[in-house]
Amino acid sequence: MTEPDTTDNTTHFGYENVSVRDKARRVAGVFDSVASRYDIMNDVMSFGIHRLWKRLTIELSAVRAGQSVLDLAAGTGDLTMRLAERVGEQGRVVMSDINASMLQRGRDRLVDNGFVANIDYVRADAESLPFPDNSFDCATMAFGLRNVTNKDAALESLYHVLKPGGRLLVLEFSKPTLPVIKPLYDAYSFRILPLMGKLIAGDTDSYRYLAESIRMHPDQGALKKMMQQAGFERCDYLNLSCGIVALHRGYKL
């Protein structure tokens, strides 16, 4: 899957073809709807495995004390908390999300857990980040890139705000690598997942969109190429859970 042609100001929202402006509004509506049940749905729909994927992301980030880190599309702050622990009091983590409901929920959660000293909160659009060039030692983005309308612009923006030697880690749903998994994964995604959304979050449509957005997202090889085109070097990816999720890495050299 490649990046959609937005020259006519249309793009995809799941399997629908919509205007670029309408996609931004509808994606915002999805996260406004699910914000209050976001964490419990993550645990239920991934059987808790998302915690292991995120733990590995933190380990491979190689973030050290005193560094500056951007956690983009941070949601309710799973990565932000762990990154803040790693950079310590002399470091800084910017927790950023385009959705005000998610950012507020994440901020409340972090404050409730005692994270107050080294975290800044910034509402920002990934396609045009409001930070000076060469600001961060590392940037992370977990399960957010597929919701961005212009992914190329977001990757280029991330490249600019990283310092020379900085690295980007993108954790995202991807393409299963074992053919035998695909029919089972499809059945789970399009039948079980929307039902869980209805029962737990009271929202079927948002979780149907989730399943569709995953299928429309660039696969492992396509996303690696997009990162390279944005300027990143030494790009690679690690398939997790047989490729259902992939962790992409790239460096600004």
What pLDDT, on a 0 to 100 scale, did the predictor assign at position 8?
58
What pLDDT, on a 0 to 100 scale, did the predictor assign at position 3?
47
- Domain segments of the chain as ranges: 13-177+208-251
pTM of the model: 0.90
Class of domain 13-177+208-251: alpha beta
Phi first, then psi: give them for residue 248, nearest 5 degrees.
-100, 140
Place of tokens 């979780």: 207
d(CA 104, CA 121): 9
What pLDDT, on a 0 to 100 scale, did the predictor assign at position 26?
85
Q: What does the block give as tokens for 222?
A: 């396509």
What pLDDT, on a 0 to 100 scale, did the predictor assign at position 1?
47
pLDDT digits (tens, 9 = 90+) for 29-42: 888 888 878 888 88
Tell whether the model's pLDDT for residue 72 goes beyond 70.
yes
Phi first, then psi: give them for residue 74, nearest 5 degrees.
-75, -15
What pLDDT, on a 0 to 100 scale, did the predictor assign at position 92?
98
pLDDT digits (tens, 9 = 90+) for 92-134: 999 999 999 999 999 999 999 999 889 999 999 999 999 999 9
The backbone region for 7, taken as left when phi is positive above 0, alpha when psi lies in -120 to 50, beta otherwise, is alpha
Q: Output the DSSP codes for the chain.
A: ------TTSEEEETTEEEEHHHHHHHHHHHHHHHGGGHHHHHHHHHTTTHHHHHHHHHHHHT--TT-EEEEET-TT-HHHHHHHHHH-TTSEEEEEES-HHHHHHHHHHHHHTT--SSEEEEE--TTS--S-TT-EEEEEEES-GGG-S-HHHHHHHHHHHEEEEEEEEEEEE---SSTTHHHHHHHIIIIIHHHHIIIIIS-HHHHHHHHHHHHHS--HHHHHHHHHHTT-EEEEEEEETTTTEEEEEEE--
